[in-house]
Structure formats: C-alpha cells, structure tokens
Structure 1
C-alpha cells in the first residue's frame, strides 16, 4: 500500500526535478495467505450479560492466550468473580475424536451440553486437580471450556463442578 501511495503522490522525488505523472491505476494483488482463524467462531463475542450471569467478570476479558495468538484457535479468557480461577473458552478445528485421542488428557468421560456431544477431561500433568476442561462439538470442530486455578489464590472449590456450570450456561450461545 505504501508503494501505491508513493507512485500516486510522487514521494521520493528529488527536489527540482519533475516526475512524469501517469494516470495508471495500481491495484494490489489479492493476498495469497489464508488466515485459518478467520472462519472460527470467536468466543470473545459471547455476550457480556451471559458471561456475567455465569459468575465471570466481563471486564477481565483477555483475547488469545497471554496475548499470544495461536494458529488454528480463537481464545478468550475471563476471571471468575470468586477470583480463585479463570475460564478460557477455545474454538478450534480439532474433532471431538481428536480430543479423545490426546495422551495429555486423562480421566476422559462423556459429558453433553444440551444436545451437543462432549467430553470432560483433566490435564495429565495436573497431579493436584487444579484444572478441568470440557470439549463439545460445533460445526467447525470443537469448543473447549478450560478452567484454571489461579496459583496465587489456590483452589477453593471443585474445578470440574465449576467448569460444568459455565459450559452448561454458555452452551446455548455456541454456534
């Protein structure tokens, strides 16, 4: 775009010299790069009223993961009003079967949200039971609800009970 602006305005032209202006219109070529995330449902578009109704603070919304965009995923995170945990909602293309097949997830049990097939699972390395997740099918792949205990405060309840409450309440807003 900068090159187009320079061609049309004559930037970079030495003083005292005149450039020959042309009426040629330069049209940029279409981008050949594809943004794999553009087609994914963005959990940051969940209504603030729905987020608030589940016990999360909409003012704490953080897109991505710690400010990092992961290819193939749309992510949004909120802190709970109880303050001891955060909930991340991730939208990605992996199938529910692919989630079941991961060896870094353990304790996988069936869990449905409304009519959507899903699973509840734990992180394999989480010996203290600080985190719990639910994944459900959507047309583009899966949505994961990932509850993480805030280490600075510590676990003050059952992460799986909390993540089920949030997933059930936000389920009607999924695509």
Structure 2
C-alpha cells in the first residue's frame, strides 16, 4: 500500500472512529459492583477481541491487508471496547466489540438510516453516522451474548467512483461475520 495513501486513510478512519465512539458514548464506565458490607468488585467478562479472533485468511478474503492492523483508536485502547481495523485498496474495515446493547446505538443522536439486514445468516442493524463522511461509511451491529459486535466499512475519500460502502460491507460481512461470536 502506498505510504501516503495509507496515512491519509488512517487519519480519516481514526477521525471517523473517534466520532463514532463519541456518538456511541464512551463516557459511561462501570468499575463493578460494591456491597454495603465491604468493597467488592466483580470482574467483567473479557470481550471478544477481533484482533486475535479474526484470521489473516478471513481478512485477506474480505479485501484488507492483515499487516495493516491497528488496535484501538489510533493505537490507543478504549475502556469497554475491543477495536481492530485493517486497510484495503479502496476501503478500511473496523470491527468493534462492546458490552453495549443494539438499542444504545439506535438511540444515539447522529446514528441514522437504520435498517434490518441479514449478512452471512446473521440479523443485524445497519446504519450510517451523520456528518461529512456519511456517504463514505456504513456500519452494522450484531447482538452477541456480551453486547454487540459492530462492523464498519469506510471508503477512501481520495478515490472516485467507489462502491456504496453498505454494498461493500455486505460483501465483507459474508467473510467476517461467521467469525463473530454469538
């Protein structure tokens, strides 16, 4: 991948990821439970990690380069989330895991154009994020036992004549969604 184009995609992707996380709401953190008889905490279950659970073969089949992996947001972990992204020639793919519910995504201002979709036999809620990149990105959230797994496709802003990102997301999802937890 061309270094300058890759950096540009990372910057655009990171901006979109940060905006998406702000829309979803990272502010609420729960450190566990406490009792009145003494401080006790209950460890939260470990979230599914897309960086370790999606194979290089699946990523290559989805059209992204496994070597371009970026964990977190611009390499920084986010509390309550497991985030991993990869670059392809015309788009980037990011997979998020969190303990939030689908309804939290639906009720957040800025998340728009929801519709129910089925990808690789799994039903999820497709949506876009309002703003300058609305026509460049597409997201779908799938309910899982620990919350949701979100799949995002972000087209390169520097290229013309690209496939609708929701069409690309459906194609990418056929390969990646089977790796997601239930």
Q: Residues 21-73 of structure 1: CA distance to partner in whole angstroms, max 9, x if unpaired?
A: xxxxxxxxxxx88876x610000121101111111111111111111211111
Asked if structure 1 preserves the Cα contact closer than 8 Å seen for 2:120 and 2:173, the reply is no
Matched, 1:159 2:165: yes
Of 43, 48, 51, the match for 1:44: 51
Distance across 2 between alignment mates of 1:140 and 1:65: 21
Structure 2 vs 1, CA of residues 66 and 33 (structure 1 numbering), >3 Å: closer, same or farther?
farther
Q: How does the TM-score come out when normalised to structure 2?
A: 0.70
Runs of 4+ that moved beyond 4 A:
32-36
Report which of the two has the higher share of helix: 2
Asked if structure 2 preserves the Cα contact closer than 8 Å seen for 1:118 and 1:137, the reply is yes
Asked if structure 1 preserves the Cα contact closer than 8 Å seen for 2:101 and 2:147, the reply is yes
* More RCO (CA 8 Å, sep 6+): 2
Distance across 2 between alignment mates of 1:128 and 1:141: 25
Asked if structure 2 preserves the Cα contact closer than 8 Å seen for 1:130 and 1:155, the reply is no
- Structure 2: runs of 5 or more not aligned: 1-39
Q: How does the TM-score come out when normalised to structure 1?
A: 0.72
Partner of 1:131: 137
Partner of 1:24: none
What is the RMSD computed on CA atoms of the aligned residues? Answer: 2.2
Of 68, 73, 83, the match for 1:75: 83
Q: Which has the larger radius of gyration?
A: 1
Asked if structure 2 preserves the Cα contact closer than 8 Å seen for 1:84 and 1:155, the reply is no
Distance across 2 between alignment mates of 1:44 and 1:154: 30
